[in-house]
Amino acid sequence: MEANASRQSLRLNGELAPDLSRGLWLVKWLLIIPHVIVLFFLWIAFVVVTVVAFFAILFTGRHPRGIFDFKLGVMRWSWRVAFYSYSALGTDRYPPFTLAEVPDYPARLDVEYPQELSRGLVLVKWWLLALPHYVIVGVFAGGALAGFNAAGDHGGWSSGGGLIGLLVLIAGVVLLFTARYPRGIFDFVMGMNRWVFRVAAYGTLMTDAYPPFRLDMGGQEPAPDAAGADAVAPTPAAGTS
């Protein structure tokens, strides 16, 4: 558990665009409707194949690779839409309709494929062990859509509920009047999104690496040694600047 705390199998990155439109965010809810429709059905399939993966892991100790790749694709697609819309507002570049990796898109997500998973842990990790994280994710992403239930209906958390949605709304208002996205808000929002997706990957049986109780803030995933420091903020401590 301790070894996994500093090296997470999920890596989530996002590059804040320097030239965001002041007002485009006001209509992004309309622009993402085609994505929301497609993702609704993809997440239904995600939940179904996760049940299949549960029994495969229970009897073989392995997550079927084809199912894993599909789930990873759905999470990648969801993160791109979330980053474009109301979980970050980090880019005005419209998300592509694909499950595949898009290396040049400013929002990227990857999960390392586990060669082996614990057969016994699969019985309890998605509900009992992850329960404290579900409470926190509920605050970040909004109420009843926390944790595994949120993963099953990602349209709820990518629409910007909870603390994430509130801070993104504040950033949007600042952007509207100043043409500037507050960097501090962006870094904090990225940390919360990173926490949410780590819990989603753990709760949907894609990894045995227990999510750390830590905000890894900033657009880029921290290096393993930096993450192990359990720092909440990416800035130096007071008095060192």
Residue 145 lies in a domain: yes
Which residues touch 150 (CB under 8 Å, ≥6 apart)?
A: 137, 141, 156, 157, 196, 200
pLDDT in tens, 43-86: 999 999 999 999 999 999 999 999 999 999 999 999 999 999 99
Tell me the β-bridge partners of 110: 11
Residue 39 lies in a domain: yes
Number of domains composing the chain = 1
The pTM assigned to this predicted structure is 0.87
Tell me the β-bridge partners of 12: 109
Range of the domain at 95: 2-9+21-220
Work out the pLDDT band at 221, boundaries 50, 70, 90.
very high
- Average pLDDT score, the chain: 87
Residue 240 lies in a domain: no
Residue 16 lies in a domain: no
pLDDT in tens, 110-138: 999 999 999 999 999 999 999 999 999 99
**Mean pLDDT, residues 174-198:** 97
Residue 76 lies in a domain: yes
Residue 225 lies in a domain: no
pLDDT in tens, 134-174: 999 999 998 544 443 444 433 334 445 799 999 999 999 99
Residue 164 lies in a domain: yes
Residue 231 lies in a domain: no
Dump the DSSP string for 164-195.
HHHHHHHHHHHHHHHS---HHHHHHHHHHHHH
